Amino acid sequence: MELSDPHPAAPNLRDLLRFYEEAGVDEALLEEAANRFAEQAQPKAQAPRQQEQSAPQAIVRPQQAANPAAAIAVPDEAQAARARELAREAKTLEELRAIVDGFDGCNLKLTAKQMVFSDGNPEADLMLVGEAPGRDEDIEGRPFVGRSGRLLDRMLAAIGVDRSRAYIANVIPWRPPGNRTPTPLETEICRPFIERQIELANPKVLVTLGGPSAKVILQANEGVLRLRGNWKVHTTNAGTAIPTMPTLHPAYLLRNPAHKKLAWRDLLEVRARLDAPGG
């Protein structure tokens, strides 16, 4: 009987870098490494309690920060109201793209390489909405271009659709650092933009990819495995009711290939709705 080594060898640098890559770490936010031991050794100055309570919490804006990556602050809830006002002003998708690109109220913009607005044909009958860009999308500036995007292309091709016959977007137009989950406040700030994008595109059929997208677009509380496969309705601010099919995200299907059959059933429902008279 062979016993396992009680003292396994420590991972080498290559193993560590591979772990970081798989975790989504692809760049450093600081030019120099921080010495946390030195920080702990230094005594922290105690501010007077009265002054600490009365000092207002400043919100750092991008134009105020000499080094944006080192001066990120949590945005206030007023940015969501500002986003709603700006989204209403957009009369076309191009106007909305310009508004989103110039919007500085979401901190995700400070760490992303660029804004990822959409891909495909805005005149198409079918629109698909994911959650947020990943590393490849952040580099190319288009949604669903990495491994998930290649799987999505194959899924669409299986029902006779390509990107010239579909319009693709995300709830969040900027990549969260390290592909982390967007915070509820970040999602709420970006919500008016995707809602207006759907309203202006006005597709005949809408597909939400993954649970986070379904929760935002459909105001749903159930998990995606319970939601998927059941037709829902997304009602725009103008009152237009759009048939919506929640389905599984391609990234989830890459991790759980046995569930591809579920997504296939959902896509067959979408194909049938697109082919239906007036659908």
- pLDDT tens string 235-253: 999 999 999 999 999 999 9
Q: What is the pLDDT of residue 77?
A: 83
Q: What is the pLDDT of residue 277?
A: 86
Sheet containing strand 118-120, edge to edge, reads 118-120, 166-170, 126-130, 205-209, 241-247, 232-235
Q: What is the pLDDT of residue 172?
A: 98
How far separated are the first and last CA of the chain, in Å rounded? 66
CA distance 250 to 150: 9
Task: Give residue limits of the domains in the chain.
Answer: 74-275
| Strands (E) located in the chain | 118-120, 126-130, 166-170, 205-209, 232-235, 241-247
Q: What is the pLDDT of residue 174?
A: 98
Predicted structure pTM score: 0.74
Q: What is the pLDDT of residue 32?
A: 53
Read off the pLDDT of each residue in 40-58 and give the average, rounded to a whole number: 44
Q: Residue for token digits 């946390």?
A: 36
CA distance 65 to 136: 27
CA distance 72 to 46: 23
Ordered alpha helix ranges (H), the chain:
13-22, 36-41, 49-54, 78-89, 93-102, 108-111, 135-140, 147-157, 184-201, 211-218, 224-227, 250-255, 260-275
Please give the CATH topology (third level) of the domain spanning 74-275. Uracil-DNA Glycosylase, subunit E (3.40.470)
Q: What is the pLDDT of residue 47?
A: 44
Q: Residue for token digits 């690109």?
A: 101
Q: What is the pLDDT of residue 232?
A: 97
CA 52 to each of CA 71, 74, 90, 112: distance values in angstroms, whole numbers, following the listed order: 20, 18, 42, 33
3 state SS of 163: helix
Read off the pLDDT of each residue in 134-153 and give the average, rounded to a whole number: 96
Q: What is the pLDDT of residue 65?
A: 42
- Give the distance from CA 167 to its chain's centroid: 16
Q: Among 207, 249, 205, 206, which residue's Cα sits nearest to residue 225?
A: 249
3 state SS of 206: strand
3 state SS of 150: helix
Read off the pLDDT of each residue in 204-217 and give the average, rounded to a whole number: 97
Q: What is the pLDDT of residue 76?
A: 74
When pLDDT is cut at 50, 70 and 90, the band that residue 34 belongs to is low
Q: What is the pLDDT of residue 10?
A: 57
Q: Among 200, 154, 192, which residue's Cα sits nearest to residue 173?
A: 192
Q: What is the pLDDT of residue 15?
A: 66
Q: What is the mean pLDDT of the chain?
A: 84
Picking from 24-38, 125-139, 143-157, which range would have the lowest pLDDT averaged per residue?
Answer: 24-38
Q: What is the pLDDT of residue 71?
A: 45
Q: What is the pLDDT of residue 244?
A: 98
When pLDDT is cut at 50, 70 and 90, the band that residue 52 belongs to is very low
Read off the pLDDT of each residue in 95-119 and give the average, rounded to a whole number: 97
Position with higher pLDDT, 24 vs 213: 213
- pLDDT tens string 71-100: 455 667 899 999 999 999 999 999 999 999
